[in-house]
Amino acid sequence: MDRRMKQILNILSDGVYYTAENLAEQMHVGTKTIRNLLKEMNQEIEPYGALILSKYGVGYYLNVSDQEAFDAFKRKLYTNSTNEYLPETSEERIQYLLEYLFNSTSYVKLDELSDSLYISKRTLTADLKEVENYLNKFNIKIIRKPNYGIRLEGREFDARLCIASFSGKRLHKGNQSMDEIAVCVFEVLKSNDFFITGAAYQNLVVHLYIAISRIMECHYVPMPEEPMEDLSGRLEYQIAKEIVGRLESAFHITFPETEIVYIAIHLAGKKMIYHADESDQNIIITQEINDLVTVMLDRVYDLFKFDFRSDLELRMLLCQHLVPLSVRIKYDMNLKNPLLRDVKEKFCLSYTMACNAVTVINEHFHVLLSEDEIAYFAFAFALALERKKTEIQKKNILLVCSSGRGSAKLLQYKYQNFFHDYIETITACDVGSLYKVDFSNYDYIFTTVPITIPVPLPILEVQYFLDDKDIINVKKALAFHKGASVRNYYERDLFLPHLKLQTKEEVLRCMCRFVMEKKKLPEEFYASVLKRESLAMTAFGNMVAMPHVYKAISKETFVCVGILDEPVDWGGQKVRAVFLVSIANKDHTSAELQRFYQMTAAFLLNQRQIQDLVKKQDYDAFIEAMSDIEAQLPKVL
C-alpha cells in the first residue's frame, strides 16, 4: 500500500463520511484518482476484515467487521522496511508531536505533519489541541504564523521541565547514556552524604540527560533573575560542580556556569528532609517558614479539632520540608510521589489534613500544590497521629453512691488513685441528686447502687471495695473509644441520588443548601465550603470529589453523598459522586476520625464500588458496601 492509500485510510479512520471531492481536496489529486485508489485499497484490506463502502448522497466510509485482524494489519502496515515508527493512537500521537515540536528548530507546516503521520487535518487539529493544553501547564505556547506553520515558544527552564514530564519513563528503557549519568550522580551524592529519595534521584537523572541533549543542540538555561543566595557556598552548588566535572569527561561537552546553577536548583528542590543525619545538612528555617507552619497547624485545628500546635517534632518536620519545597515552587518544579495512591488509601486522614494545611502554602505563594506534593506532607501528619495513638484520652467520671459524704469522698479518692492515667476529673454525688446533674460534662457514670431514672451516659456498676477483677474491668471501660459506625456518618436523609446538575458550582450550591436546611446550619457553612474549594483541589480521583468546609462548623460529623446522572468537570477531572464532609466542631480522638477516613478512603478508591454506586444510586446498597469495608478494619480500642 503506497503513501497516498495510507493517508486515505487514516482520514477514513475518523469514522466520518467523506465524499470523493472531500478526499480529493485533502489529497491534492483528482476525484478519478481517488476512486481508483479506493478500489485498489479494498483489494488489500478485505482479507483483514475491512472494506471502504459508499452511501449514496453521503460519501465513503470505512466498515470494519473484524477489528482484531484489521488492527494487526495496520500495525504491520505502519512499520515500513526501515522500521520507521508511526504512532497509532491519539495518546501516542500527542507524545510524538511534543517530541517533534521540541526538536524542531523552525516552523512546522500542518500539512507536512498530517502527511507524515498519515492522518487527516481534522485529527491533527484535535491532537494539537491536547498538546497545547499540556504545554500550557509549563507556560509554553504554540506560535502560529500564516504560510509558515507552528513552533514552540517559552523559557528553556520550562521546556526542560515539560520534556522531563512527558518523556521520563520512556527514557529509562535500555538507555546507556542514562545508565552512565546515574552512576555519576550516585557516586557524587554518596561521597557527599547528600540524601534524596529514589523517585527524586530518577527525576534528577532524567533532567541531566535532557540537559546534555539540549546543550548539544545549543539550548542553554539562562541565569535565574534571582540567583540562589550565596550560591558558591552552598553544598548543592559544590555537588553540582562535581557532577558536571564527571559528565563533561564522560560526554565530551562543556557545561556553562548557568547549567551548574540549574543542577544546583534541582538538588536544592529534591533534598530529603527525613534523614537521620539531617542535623549535619544545615537546613536554615527562616521566620517566614516557621510562621507558615504555625498557620498550617492552626488551620488543621480549625477544621479537625486535632491540636498539633504544641507538637515540636511535627513542626520541625513541616518546616524542614518547606525549605526544598519553596525552591520547587519558585522554579515551578513538581516532585512526583510514587506512593500517592497508597497514602490516599492507607493514610486518608493524614492526607486530608495535609490537603487542608497546604491551603496556607497555596495562598502564600499563589500556587496550587499537586497531589504528589500534598502526599509528602501527609507523611508528617501520619507520624504525628501515630504518636497520638499512644496518648490515652482521659475521661470525666460521675461517681454515684447511696449516701454519706465521707464514704463518697473515700471512693472518689480510691478511683482517682487507681486510675489517674485514665481519669481527668471525678465528681461524686448521691443517687437522689442525679436529676440536678448536667450530664454533658461527663463521659461515664460509675455507680455502687442501682440507677432507676433514665440517663444519657453508659453506666458501669462498681463495688465499694475494689478487687483485681474490678480494676481490670474499669480500665477496659476507660480505655475504650467508640469506633466510627457507617450509619453514624452516612444518614439516609443525606443521600442524594440522580442529581441533574451540570457544573461543580451548581453541585456545591445544591448540596450545601440541602445540608444547611436539614442540619440547621448557618449561611457561613456554604461560604466555608466555597472558600476551601478555592484554595486546594478536592477531586479525589476515581470519579469522586470530597469537598470540605474551611473550618469546623457543625455539632456532629456527617457526610452528604450526591450522585450525578452525568459527570461534571471538577478541576480538570470528571466526577459522578460527591462526598461533602463536615467535621464536628469538637475535640476528636485520633482513633475515631482515623477509622472514619480509613473506611471512606477504602470505598472511594475502589473502582468497582464507585461504579456500582453511580449505577445503582441506592442508599441500602451503598451502606451494605460500606459496612463490609468497616467490618474488615481493625477494631478501635
What CATH number is associated with residue 125?
1.10.10.10
Work out the burial of residue 378: count CB atoms within 10 Å of its CB; fewer than 13 is exposed, 13-18 middle, 19 or more buried: buried
Residue 500 or residue 117, greater confidence: 500
Tens of pLDDT, residues 507-536: 999 999 999 999 999 999 999 999 988 887
Question: What mean pLDDT, rounded, does the chain reach?
Answer: 82
Tell me what the mean pLDDT of segment 426-449 comes to: 84
Instruction: Answer yes or no: is 60 within a domain.
Output: yes
Inform me whether the pLDDT recorded for 54 exceeds 50. Answer: yes
Is 186 a residue whose pLDDT tops 70?
Answer: yes
**Are 563 and 622 within one domain?**
yes
Q: Contact, 172 vs 178, CB < 8 A?
A: yes
Of the candidates 167, 152, 235, 255, the one whose C-alpha atom is nearest the C-alpha of residue 207 is 167
Examine residue 399 and state whether it is found in any structural domain, yes or no. Answer: yes
Residue 471: CATH number of its domain:
3.40.50.2300
362 and 472 share one domain: no
| Cell 501520619 -> residue | 382
pLDDT of residue 483: 46
pLDDT value of position 294: 92
- Residue 71 Cα to chain centre, angstroms: 35
* Tally of CB atoms within 10 A around 282: 8
Q: Which residues of 537-546 are buried (b: 16+ CB within 10 A; e: fewer)?
A: bbbbbbbbbb
Query: Where is average pLDDT lowest: 29-43, 146-160, 290-304, 376-390?
Result: 376-390
Among 279, 297, 332, identify where a domain stops: 279
Q: What is the pLDDT of residue 293?
A: 92
- Answer yes or no: do 275 and 287 share one domain: no
Do 325 and 364 contact (CB within 8 A), yes or no? Answer: no
Residue 448: CA atoms inside 13 Å, Cβ hemisphere, count? 18
Question: Which one is predicted more confidently, 196 or 82?
Answer: 196
Of all residues in the chain, what percent carry a pLDDT higher than 90?
A: 23
Q: Is there a single domain that holds both residue 427 and residue 453?
A: yes
Same domain flag for 492 and 607: yes
76, 442, 532 from 333: Cα distances, Å: 40, 52, 24
Give the alpha-carbon dihedral of 273, 278, 283, 289, to 10 degrees. Answer: 50
Of residues 613 and 274, more confidently modeled: 613
**Could you tell me if residue 85 is inside a domain?**
no
User: What pLDDT band is residue 468 in, cutting at 50, 70 and 90?
Assistant: low
d(CA 574, CA 566): 9
152-172 mean pLDDT: 81
Indicate if 304 and 379 belong to the same structural domain.
Answer: yes
Pairing mode, strands 459-461 and 444-447: parallel
CA atoms of 369 and 325, how far apart (whole Å): 10
- What was the pLDDT predicted at 581? 92
Give the mean pLDDT of 424-446. 85
Please give the distance of CA 286 from its chain centroid, rounded to a whole number: 28
Name the pLDDT band for 587 (thresholds 50, 70, 90). low
What's the rounded mean pLDDT across residues 162-173? 72
Mean pLDDT of 488-506: 93
* Residue 14 resides in a domain: yes
Look at residue 278 and give its three-state secondary structure.
Answer: helix
Q: Which residues contact 390 (CB under 8 A, 6 or more apart)?
A: none
Per the model's pLDDT, the better-predicted residue between 416 and 150 turns out to be 150
- Let me know whether 415 and 550 are in one domain: no
- Is the pLDDT confidence value at 560 over 90? yes
Neighbours of 427 (CB within 10 A): 14
| Beta strands across the sheet bearing 495-499 | 495-499, 558-570, 573-582, 544-545, 539-541
Kindly list the distances between the CA atom of residue 265 and the CA atoms of 218, 222, 270, 326, in Å, as whole numbers in the listed order.
21, 13, 9, 11
Distance (Å, rounded) from C-alpha 517 to C-alpha 523? 10
**What cell does 367 get?**
500556587
Average confidence (pLDDT) over 207-228 = 78
Is the Cβ–Cβ distance between 540 and 569 less than 8 Å? no
Q: What is the pLDDT of residues 471-492, one digit of tens each?
A: 666 765 665 544 446 777 899 9
- Residue 188 φ/ψ, nearest 5 degrees: -70, -45
Is there a single domain that holds both residue 617 and residue 512? yes
pTM, entire model = 0.55
The CATH number assigned to the domain holding 520 equals 3.40.930.10
Q: Which helix (H) or strand (E) holds 545?
A: strand 544-545
For residues 252 and 477, which has the higher predicted lDDT (pLDDT)?
252
In this structure, the answer to whether residues 342 and 374 fall within a common structural domain is yes
CB atoms under 10 Å from CB of 353, counted, come to 29
Rounded-to-integer distance, Cα 454 and Cα 465, Å: 26
Mean pLDDT of the 531-560 span: 88
Domain that holds residue 146: 90-154
Q: What CATH number is attached to the domain comprising 289?
A: 1.10.1790.10
320: confidence class by pLDDT, cuts 50, 70, 90: confident
Whether residues 212 and 122 fall in one domain: no
Same domain, 530 and 626: yes
Domain end point (choices 154, 177, 196): 154
Contacts of 14 (CB under 8 A, 6+ apart): 120, 122, 123
Q: How far, CA to CA in Å, does 607 sit from each of 320, 451, 544, 577, 627?
A: 36, 51, 10, 12, 17
- Are the C-beta atoms of 509 and 541 separated by less than 8 Å? no
- Examine the pLDDT at 179 and tell me if it is beyond 90: no
Q: Which pLDDT value is given to residue 393? A: 66
Residue 143 in this model has a pLDDT that exceeds 80: yes
Domain-located, residue 581: yes
Confidence of residue 275 (pLDDT cuts 50, 70, 90): very low
Within-domain flag for 418:
yes
Q: What is the pLDDT of residue 573?
A: 86
User: Quick check: is 83 in a domain?
Assistant: no
**Does residue 82 form part of some domain?**
no
So what's the pLDDT on residue 298?
92
Show which of 321, 356, 389 is a domain's final residue: 389
Split into its structural domains, the chain has a count of: 6
- Whether 611 and 497 share a structural domain: yes
Q: What is the DSSP letter of 423?
A: E
- CA–chain centroid gap for 116, Å, is 38
Continuous H helices in 305-425: 312-330, 340-346, 348-365, 371-389, 405-418
pLDDT digits (tens, 9 = 90+) for 93-116: 898 899 889 988 789 998 888 877
Which runs of consecutive H residues, i.e. helices, occur in 28-63?
A: 31-45
Q: What is the pLDDT of residue 611?
A: 92
Q: Are 612 and 621 in contact (CB under 8 A)?
A: yes
